[in-house]
Structure 1
Amino acid sequence: MLKAQQLTLAVLVNAALISTAFASEQSESKGFVEDAEGSVLFRTGYLHRDKKNGVDDTSSFAQTAIVNLDSGFTKGTVGFAAGIIGDASIKLGENAHTGNDMIPTHNDDSAYDHWARGGAYVKARISNTTATYGTQLLDIPVLASNTARLVPEYYTGVLVESNEINNLNLIAGKFTENQLSNQINSDGAKLERAIVWGAKYKANDQLNLAYYGTDIKDRLDRHYINANFTQGLADKSSLTYDLSAYHTKWDKDANQYLYSQIGESNDSFDNSIAALSTTYNRGPHNVMVAYQQNFGNTGYDYGLGTNVGDGKQSIYMPNSYLSDFIGNDEKSVQLQYTYDFGALNVPGLSWTSAFVYGWDIKATDNAGTMISDNEEEREFFNQVKYTVQSGFAKDASLRLRHSYYRASNNYQNNYIGDTNEWRIWLDIPVKLF
């Protein structure tokens, strides 16, 4: 199956290369130095989880500088470029209860006082097709770098991206190293091989379609589809419909890592998860309702510690906050409201509030034996974010996020467990050149 998918993608890329429909990006290159860009993001991050039922709390507080230096492409038929991405961080305070993928820890679980990570990459571009090799951040639904912690998750490998046909984006890549946000080792996740491919198509101003797939050796095969349609209404309002779904088939070598496993270690495990959301927008108001459901004989699992390598952000679904509502056979519904305070002459300030309720969850004991099929979970989420709009601090932002999460008794050990979580993020971007 994988060979057929790769062959299909190769044919698509070849067709794109010989049927260019619009101007070449490479022909507009100004040069290696002339198009260079550099920036530093100074981030202060605090993440605290107040755990219930006798479980120890976790709390992390640290500061980092995330550097991105990117050259322009050289001129000519084939352009070449290079860059560096990385981060240098220090802990703030003792961090005696660090956790949550924020700060690397020593063998005795004590937090690092300071640490640095990163790498380099090179790029080649012909027409509108670019190949990148080296350390990268990935924003692919089936292979996604975690950017929701102090520092990002890095991948090492090659990614080819083609935009030869107007409104059609094609990708294909292979990655052999995965470094989680709290790891010093560039291959801390012990990724042997992950192959990824996909396509995104803008049919018109209203409809967008996407498909992505990945094959992670000895772990899983995963596919993702998305369809997004926006319908304009009277009085400048709109309705947006979004359908997204994953299908995952785990290799038997990965059975030991499935925390929602039902059955024996040599069984075959698969999951499908689908969601449909509708968002109504009118001026500063956004209201979203969503329904999400799991199918198969296990829940949707991703980013399982150091053992899978699919990225700790590979959950492009609407009902995803502190909990992702991905339990075995789980159904969940969400109501979300977002308000833009620009309508009250406070541009840059927004507030989001959401409530998600999940039910019909199959729970297991520590041996993996199912003990219940009607467990529940719920989360009340609130976030306030302010971004400076002008002046010397333009684009600096402060984000305050809180989640109140509760689950039924039999689901406490299967997943997160009752938690009150706070996240405070202060981001100050500085453009170097």
Structure 2
Amino acid sequence: MQKAQKLTLAVLIQAALISTAYASEQSESKGFVEDAEGTVLFRTGYINRDKKSPGVKDQSSAAQSAIFDLESGYTKGVIGFGVGVVGDASFKLGENKNANNQMIPRETGLNNKGELEKQAGDTYDHWTRGGANVKARISNTEVRYGTQVLDLPVLASNTGRMVPEYFEGVLATSREINGLELTAGKFTKDQMSHQINTDGNHLDRAVVWGAKYKFNDAFNAAYYGLDSKNALDRHYVNANYKQALANGSSLTYDFSGYHTEWDKQAATYSSTIGNKDVDGRSNNIWALSGTYNQGPHNIMLAYQQNTGNTGYDYAENADGFQSIYLPNSYLSDFIGNHEKSAQVQYSLDFGKLGVPGLNWTTAYVYGWDINVAGQTAEGKETEFFNQVKYTVQSGFAKDASLRVRNSIYRANDVYSNAYIGDTNEWRIFLDIPVKFF
């Protein structure tokens, strides 16, 4: 594992020293101030989970947030330097007494004076979070240290709630070879979307590395790895090929998958599967999908499968539930032990029918053959998903968007208490971006 990390870092550093056939990003820098960008995203969000199981409380949260992203440009020269700030300020709308969906922080302990600020379980009325980072660039290679929002298949910031999840550490990204992007980094703090503590998820140390390569306009491939200390080792692969067909239509094939092994030092290394004690946990989960596109229409079929002695588990890596870049992922991610799942999805781009900015997606996913601890029968789950999104195309509200999403999730009695439980969920988000400079 360490050899793979060192090799990736060595290749990344070597790539930074290679002269390339295309323009250097740093050579085109206009300056620290001249290339600066600053935006704030005003988001109004609402999540409601209508729990159908007897005795289980509903979950409902509403809040208003302003999400900041301020970036300087790079200084001129062979090596450019810059700074950045990311953060958010929010306040809740309504009481939110039954909130439990990673939208609004709860008071769970003492303040820095050792005093209990709120009753355990109370939600904050208002809160702010964020941090700064510094960056350096040589040629087409950037190194950034500090608070960051990540978009890596093995370590991704949850952006599906009010505000993003923040990681603190160092990340190097190199694009010295045309079509190839190399990534390597190390992170030591993880603040989920609903946490005030900058290391609220108690991340020990996560080392990431990876590469993605665009062979041509039709074929892309990627590999990423993660070594999360005292938690797990994880590897991700992806291949995507788009085949052009007659009359402007196309067929896209996509394969993606994860292999995970839990560290022996992890508290969850041993687990119970059914009635058998398992010493040493491992999981493989992979998915294959095909998407047909014709004008405004997209139809996707997907198959996803788990193998190993446990289900895929992102929370035990101390990240925020978004590090699963697989197609059968909505309210449920269909990640149960030994689970198989199939999906049919249809999406419609109304822009090609005369209503630009309007999109609709509907999907049905069926999961079966789930091994549940203490049960002999197989677990099953289903989800019916719908989402409508409209983005303003012009005028003073250009790029403002409204997204309405609904999931109807059901599980059989065997699996109901082991995962989400029967739920009807609504998510409504109104986003209004404003550019400062």
Short-chain TM bin: over 0.9
> In structure 2, how many angstroms separate the alpha carbons of the residues matched to 1:18 and 1:183?
40
Instruction: Report the counterpart of residue 415 of structure 1 in structure 2.
Output: 419
Instruction: Report the counterpart of residue 367 of structure 1 in structure 2.
Output: none
Give CA deviations for 1:70-114 in whole Å, capped at 9, x if unaligned.
000000000000011000000001111112100001232111000
> In structure 2, how many angstroms separate the alpha carbons of the residues matched to 1:274 and 1:334?
14
Contact 1:86 1:117 in 2 (8 A): yes
Distance 1:404 1:259, change over 3 A: farther
> In structure 2, how many angstroms separate the alpha carbons of the residues matched to 1:227 and 1:44?
36
CA shift at 1:255, angstroms? 4.6
Is 1:40 aligned with 2:40? yes
Instruction: Report the counterpart of residue 340 of structure 2 in structure 1.
Output: 331
> In structure 2, how many angstroms separate the alpha carbons of the residues matched to 1:341 and 1:233?
22
Aligned residue among 137, 151, 159 for 1:147: 159
Instruction: Report the counterpart of residue 362 of structure 1 in structure 2.
Output: 371
> In structure 2, how many angstroms separate the alpha carbons of the residues matched to 1:144 and 1:219?
16
2:371 alignment partner, SS class: strand
Is 1:231 aligned with 2:240? no
TM-score (norm 2): 0.94
Letter in 1 for 2:346: Y
> In structure 2, how many angstroms separate the alpha carbons of the residues matched to 1:36 and 1:109?
41
Is 1:216 aligned with 2:228? yes
Letter in 2 for 1:23: A
Give CA deviations for 1:389-423 in whole Å, capped at 9, x if unaligned.
00000000000000000001010111111000000
Instruction: Report the counterpart of residue 290 of structure 1 in structure 2.
Output: 302
**1:133-212 matches, cutoff 5 A:** 133-212=145-224
2:375 alignment partner, SS class: strand
Letter in 1 for 2:338: D
Letter in 2 for 1:348: G
Contact 1:303 1:313 in 2 (8 A): no
Count residues with an aligned counterpart: 424
> In structure 2, how many angstroms separate the alpha carbons of the residues matched to 1:295 and 1:181?
30
> In structure 1, how many angstroms separate the alpha carbons of the residues matched to 2:335 and 2:363?
17
CA root-mean-square deviation: 1.5
Report the more deviating stretch, 249-258 or 56-65.
249-258
TM-score (norm 1): 0.95
Distance 1:23 1:231, change over 3 A: same
> In structure 2, how many angstroms separate the alpha carbons of the residues matched to 1:139 and 1:3?
23
Letter in 1 for 2:298: N
Contact 1:252 1:265 in 2 (8 A): no
**1:56-67 matches, cutoff 5 A:** 56-67=57-68
Letter in 1 for 2:308: G
Distance 1:101 1:240, change over 3 A: same
Distance 1:74 1:230, change over 3 A: same
- Structure 2: 5+ residue stretches without partners: 109-119
> In structure 2, how many angstroms separate the alpha carbons of the residues matched to 1:95 and 1:260?
36
Distance 1:116 1:264, change over 3 A: farther
Letter in 1 for 2:53: N
Instruction: Report the counterpart of residue 103 of structure 2 in structure 1.
Output: 102
Is 1:403 aligned with 2:407? yes
Give CA deviations for 1:7-66 in whole Å, capped at 9, x if unaligned.
221332244234332211100000000000000000000001001122111110000000
